[in-house]
Amino acid sequence: MRKKISTLLTCSVLLALSACGLGSSGSDTDSDDTIKIGTLFSVSGAGANLGDKMRKGAELAVKQVNADGGIDGKKIDWVFYDPAGDTSTAVQQTNRMLDSDGVELIVGGGGSSGIALAMDPITSGRGVAFIATEGARQIVEPAAEAHPLTFKTTFNDTVMVERLIAFWKAHDITRVAFMPDTSSFGQSAQEELERLAPEAGIKVFTAAFDPAANDLTPQVKRLAGNDPQAYLAWTITPAGVTFLKNLRSVLGDSDVMVMHGFGFVDDRYMQQAGAASTGTILVSPKLPVWDRIDASDPQQPVMEDFATAYAEEYGGEQPNVYAGQAYDAMMVAVAALRATGGDTDGEKIADAVEALGTHVGVTGAFKFTADDHSGLTVDDVAVIQWDGSRFVPVE
């Protein structure tokens, strides 16, 4: 039996209406007939592009579940807020959700690892389960000791780094220029890459950058002096577009390997970078290449159903990996709530998530345990490439 966690949280969330990203919190629905789930995604500010699709992914899940009868007859009463990428705002909203809006479970951590990390002590202190959608491994590690009620539906950067190293070794890459941003997401990856790469015989040259940077030429030039065989950026911000453009400006037509981490898997970013993005290799969930995945893969029909439903719901718009991980987070929460019979006690939900077995989602085949609250492995990772018009698998 997991340890009871004392309480102290807050966050008033707003009821998410499909027509607007902001609104008043709560609803008139009888609480006996609903389960109130709160969500934070940044649909404005620097991360608006990603946050908007995350909101839609979660919203689609809510609509599907409610249309299918809800959870043991109870509909989801969804409460949504937009922290606009600001951690202090997210903390206020989290407290407000729990103190004023009566939210019983939180899904989604603002679209930023820093925000999710700030939310976790609040939800944990209140005994509320939290299914995050952000990347840094510290959100859920160590699980049993420090984050017993918190899970996430994204890869731990450790898994992604392990996949990267295997890819580099297969291509005889031994010198890598690494450019992480200074956010929690970027710095967590830096720690893991600098820890694991030497064991694999790979030398890493690192130059971090501000997530708001609009010129990375100095860092690129400095790293170029080490004659790296591959350049890897790690960010979710538009600075990743700057990285691609500056890199091509400095290196010209060099055939050096250009790479991005899983936080940058978005075709809009590739399109913004124009010709500089062609050939970029990324570690990613399989969703961007779902139509190129063998039909024998158990994820393939799940991804196809999701992509089809999303496009139908949002006027032909295609989902990205962020929409997928938000959809997964809501569906993991729903699976756990169905297992508890609709009981929203944080400990019971956590026990139910850990007992799900293999939960095949859009992002991967999750296998949560008491010690692994991310549940994804290297087997769930795809290596993909931007060919100038779309993502394709790397052979």
CB burial of 294-333 (b: ≥16 within 10 Å; e: otherwise) equals eeeeebbebbeebbebbeebbeeeebbbbbbbbbbbbbbb
Residue 324 lies in a domain: yes
Q: Are residues 173 and 143 part of one domain?
A: no
- Tell me which residue has tokens 């899970």: 151
Which of 333, 380, 340 lies closest to 360 in space, CA to CA? Answer: 380
- Same domain, residue pair 141 and 164: no
- Put simply, whether the predicted model's pTM sits higher than 0.85 gets the answer yes
Q: For position 395, what pLDDT does the model report?
A: 72
- 289 in any annotated domain: no
The yes-or-no verdict on residue 19 having pLDDT over 60 is no
Whichever domain contains 107, its CATH number is 3.40.50.2300
Last residue of a domain, one of 250, 284, 318: 284
79 lies in which domain range? 14-155+304-379
Please give the Cα distance from 269 to 123 (Å, whole number).
33
Identify the pLDDT of residue 2: 53
| 53 and 130 housed in the same domain | yes
- The answer on 268 and 325 residing in a single domain is no
Indicate if 101 and 198 belong to the same structural domain: no
82 and 139 both lie in a single domain = yes
Q: What percent of the chain has pLDDT over 70?
A: 92
- Per the structure, the count of domains in the chain is 2
Domain identity same for 121 and 177 = no
Q: Which two tokens stand for residue 191?
A: 């720690």
**pLDDT on residue 45:** 86
Predicted pLDDT of residue 31: 62
DSSP calls for 339-383:
HTTT---HHHHHHHHHT---EE-SS-EE---SS-SS---GGG-EE
pLDDT average, residue stretch 5-33:
39
Cβ contact 392:282 at 8 Å:
no
Mean pLDDT of 129-149: 95
- Amino acid (1-letter code) at residue 395: E
The answer as to whether 258 is a domain residue is yes
- H or E segment to which residue 222 belongs: helix 217-224
Same domain, 26 and 138: yes
Do 87 and 136 fall into the same domain?
yes
Compute the distance between CA of residue 264 and CA of residue 268 in angstroms, rounded to an integer: 10
In this prediction, residue 48 carries a pLDDT of 83
Tens of pLDDT, residue by residue over 192-246, are: 999 999 999 999 999 999 999 999 999 999 999 999 999 999 999 999 999 999 9
Q: How far is CA 358 from CA 57, 120, 233, in A?
A: 21, 25, 32
Cis bond upstream, residue 228 (ω within 30) = no
Burial of 67 (0-12, 13-18, 19+ CB in 10 A): exposed
Q: What are phi and psi of 204, to 5 degrees?
A: -115, 130
Looking at the structure, tell me whether residues 76 and 166 fall in a common domain: no
- pLDDT, residue 14, reads 34
**pLDDT at position 3 over 50:** no
394, part of any domain: no
DSSP helix/strand/coil, 63: helix
| DSSP bridge pairs for 260 | 233, 282
In tens, the pLDDT along 71-112 reads: 999 999 999 999 999 999 999 999 999 999 999 999 999 999
Q: What Cα–Cα distance (Å) separates residue 366 from each residue in 261, 332, 360?
A: 20, 9, 6
| Strand-by-strand arrangement of the 34-41 sheet | 14-15, 75-81, 34-41, 105-110, 130-132, 150-152
